[in-house]
């Protein structure tokens, strides 16, 4: 009897053990079959998409406002219209250009819309057509006024070709009035072929700087002409027919030092020419710093 009970207990343990194994395998299978979770969206994507959306809305609003402004202001026939160009367009010109010529070049007339005038384009166009203009300022005044201020170049010397002059920046332009007393720059090929709008360089520009320096209040004398055809010096001719070579360090350079040396050398030359000894000579050589040589005959 006892043996049978033992056998039953043993068999029950086997069944219990087999059941536990099946339960474990079933649990593993359920873990394996569990569906995978999808990858989460990075945290920075949503703010980025939101920012792109906001910027797109702002761009659309700006485009809409610009379109409305263009349609309402630029193309309107009622707003910002110059009804009387003679009265409402103020032109401050220089010595040679006339207001009517400026209006013609800029295309200003009665009934024109202020915003229909391409100011930057017209400014460049006017300066190209008139090299004598140094600078232009065009300002709109609402609702229907326009002010144009023009600064013209001041000639400081004539070039060899009749009617052409040059300013202190070396720009060549045409001026026929009030130039008879200016010195003449001559001699070189660049001067002979200079056209309005050209800018002088090299020895020609050195001649321009020297001519401009003679307008100083403390300058005692001016020369009548300067020959810039030589590579190492300028040849000056004075109203009393006396002549002089002159040179200084850095003649072709635009610097404060070169300007200082130029003025010092020229003033020394004038002092040497005007003293009792210098009055006896017709030719001078001022190519060496601080030394002026006088000669009685030609170079």
- Give the tens place of pLDDT for each residue, 107-135: 888 888 877 778 888 888 888 888 899 98
Q: Is 60 exceeded by the pLDDT of residue 45?
A: yes
Give whichever of 24-38, 135-149, 166-180 has the largest mean pLDDT: 166-180
Identify the DSSP state of 30: H
Model-level pTM greater than 0.85?
no
pLDDT band, very low/low/confident/very high, at 2 (cuts 50, 70, 90): very low
26-30, 39-43, 106-110, 147-151: which has the minimum mean pLDDT? 26-30
Residue 186 covered by a domain: yes
> Which structural domain range is residue 207 located in?
157-295
Q: Same domain, yes or no, for 262 and 215?
A: yes
C-alpha–C-alpha distance, residues 210 and 265, integer Å = 10
Which residue did the predictor score with more confidence, 150 or 22? 150
Q: Same domain, yes or no, for 99 and 181?
A: no
Identify the DSSP state of 73: I
Of 136, 152, 168, which closes a domain?
Answer: 152
pLDDT value of position 6: 45
Of 152, 170, 198, which closes a domain?
Answer: 152
Q: Same domain, yes or no, for 133 and 236?
A: no
pLDDT band, very low/low/confident/very high, at 1 (cuts 50, 70, 90): very low
pLDDT value of position 130: 85
Residue 62 covered by a domain: no
Q: Is 90 exceeded by the pLDDT of residue 263?
A: yes
pLDDT value of position 27: 47
Residue 51 covered by a domain: no
pLDDT band, very low/low/confident/very high, at 200 (cuts 50, 70, 90): very high
In the chain, the number of structural domains is: 2
CB 244 within 8 A of CB 284: yes
Order of strands across the sheet that contains 184-186: 172-174, 164-166, 157-159, 184-186, 225-227, 234-237, 243-246, 283-288, 291-295
Residue 195 covered by a domain: yes
The set of residues, in sequence order, having a beta carbon less than 8 Å from that of 274 and lying 6+ positions away, is 220, 221
- Neighbouring CB atoms inside 10 A of 151's CB total 13
């Amino acid at each position: 009897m006892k043996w049978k009970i033992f056998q039953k207990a043993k068999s029950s343990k086997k069944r219990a053990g087999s059941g536990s194994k099946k339960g474990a395998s079933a649990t593993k299978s359920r873990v394996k079959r569990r569906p995978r979770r999808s990858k989460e969206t990075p945290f920075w994507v949503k703010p980025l998409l939101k920012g792109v959306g906001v910027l797109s809305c702002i761009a659309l609003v700006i485009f809409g406002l610009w379109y409305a402004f263009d349609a309402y202001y630029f193309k309107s026939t009622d707003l910002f219209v110059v009804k009387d160009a003679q009265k409402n367009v103020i032109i401050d010109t220089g010595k040679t250009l006339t207001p009517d010529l400026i209006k013609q070049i800029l295309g200003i007339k009665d009934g024109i819309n202020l915003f229909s005038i391409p100011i930057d384009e017209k400014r460049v166009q006017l300066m190209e057509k008139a090299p004598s203009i140094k600078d232009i300022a065009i300002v709109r005044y609402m609702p229907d006024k326009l002010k144009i201020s023009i600064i013209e170049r001041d000639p400081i010397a004539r070039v060899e070709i009749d009617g052409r002059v040059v300013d202190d920046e070396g720009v060549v332009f045409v001026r026929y009035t009030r130039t008879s007393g200016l010195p003449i720059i001559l001699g070189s090929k660049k001067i002979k072929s200079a056209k309005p709008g050209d800018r002088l360089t090299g020895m020609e520009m050195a001649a321009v700087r020297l001519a401009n320096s003679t307008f100083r209040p403390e300058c005692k004398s001016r020369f009548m002409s300067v020959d810039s055809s030589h590579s190492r010096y300028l040849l000056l001719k004075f109203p009393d027919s006396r002549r002089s070579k002159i040179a200084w360090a850095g003649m072709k350079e635009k610097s404060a030092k070169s300007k200082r040396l130029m003025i010092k050398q020229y003033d020394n030359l004038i002092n040497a020419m005007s003293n009792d000894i210098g009055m006896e000579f017709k030719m001078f050589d001022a190519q060496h710093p601080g030394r002026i040589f006088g000669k009685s005959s030609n170079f």
